[in-house]
Amino acid sequence: MISRAVLSHPSELSEWGRLQIDQTHFRAWLVRSHDSFSEGERFEEFVDTGCCGNTHYIEFVVECVDGDGPVSRETDIEYTERDGCDRGGGWTAQSTVE
């Protein structure tokens, strides 16, 4: 079983985007939608942008995996930032970076 997975997201990710990926339901979705994680793997996930109807996908990169095998509810999902991306956020009213 994978005990921990570290996923990187763009350093430009807005506060709104960070709030969305830190939600319990989003972390649960990551566990349900991935059988396993492999270091170096890249994938995009949709995040809620509120009532604006705009879609927003965040690209994640698996930076580190502790253990092997399947992902489970016991898998700890951690985030870190990475440079070189231009996807800052969804709807601008919700994505103001201060």
Per-residue pLDDT of 12-58, as tens digits, reads 888 888 999 999 999 999 999 999 999 999 999 988 766 665 667 89
Residues 47 and 50: their CA atoms lie apart, in Å, by 9
pTM exceeding the 0.95 threshold for the entire prediction? no
Residue 73 has pLDDT above 50, yes or no: yes
Is residue 46 a part of any domain in this protein?
yes
Is residue 94 in a domain? no
% residues pLDDT > 70 (the chain): 77
pLDDT of residue 89: 46
Q: Which domain does 21 fall in, by range? A: 2-89
- β-pair partners for 78: 6
pLDDT-based confidence at residue 85 (cuts at 50, 70, 90): low
CATH of the domain at 19: 3.10.330.10
pLDDT exceeds 90 at position 62 = yes
CB atoms closer than 10 angstroms to residue 56: 23
Q: Is residue 72 part of a domain?
A: yes
pLDDT of residue 52: 61
Contact yes or no for 8/78 (Cβ under 8 A): no
Phi, psi of 55 (to 5 degrees): -95, 145
Domain total in the chain = 1
